[in-house]
Amino acid sequence: MDNANFCPEPTCSARVISADTLSGANNYPLPRGAYKVPKVLAEFVVQLDSESKIRLNEPAYEIKRIEKQIFLTECRYIAPTDKVFIQGYIRKNIEYAAKECITRSGISGAIRDTTVHIPIKAYTQVNFTNLPRVFPNLPPVVARYFDAKEKEKI
C-alpha cells in the first residue's frame, strides 16, 4: 500500500493496537470430495483462535455489524516435520454508530466504518494418507577457474 491512500495522523486514529494468534491449531478431516490437479496431498480445516484490540477513529456507542474475511499470504509445507505453516491476515470491517451528540433523551451520530488488517500466523501438524516424497534441491554447480595472473597481483 502506498502512503498516498492513508489519512493524515491527527484526523485518523483507527488502527490495530495489538493482535495475537495462538500458535497451536488443530485440524479436522474434510469429507471426501473431488481431487484437483496435479494432486491433493491432504485436505483439512484449521481453526485459528485470534484476539485483537482495535481502536476506532471516534467514540462509538454501538457496533452495528462486523464482517470478516481471511487472506492467506503464505502456506508452506516443511517436509521433515509434517507441519504446514500458515501466514496471512484477517480483514475486519466494523460498522458502528458514532457518538457525536448526547442529550438526556437520546444519542445521535453518523454510521461509520473502520477496516483493519489483523495479522495471523500459525502451524498445524498434517497426517497425510500418502506421505509425499519431497526431494531437496541440488546445490548449484559452480565452475571455478584459477588464473595465475590474478595470483601474482596478491
User: So where are the chain's domains?
Assistant: 3-153
Instruction: Name the percent of the chain lying above pLDDT 70.
Output: 66
Looking at 64-68, 74-78, 127-131, which range is the least confident one? 127-131
Instruction: Name every residue whose Cβ is closer than 8 Å to that of residue 107 and which is 6 or more positions away in sequence.
Output: 61, 97, 99, 101
- At residue 30, the pLDDT reads 60
* Of residues 115, 20, 102, the one with CA closest to residue 61: 102
What three-state secondary structure class fits 127? Answer: coil
**DSSP H helices in the chain:** 148-153
**pLDDT tier, 107 (very low <50, low <70, confident <90, very high otherwise):** confident
Say which amino acid occupies 4.
Answer: A
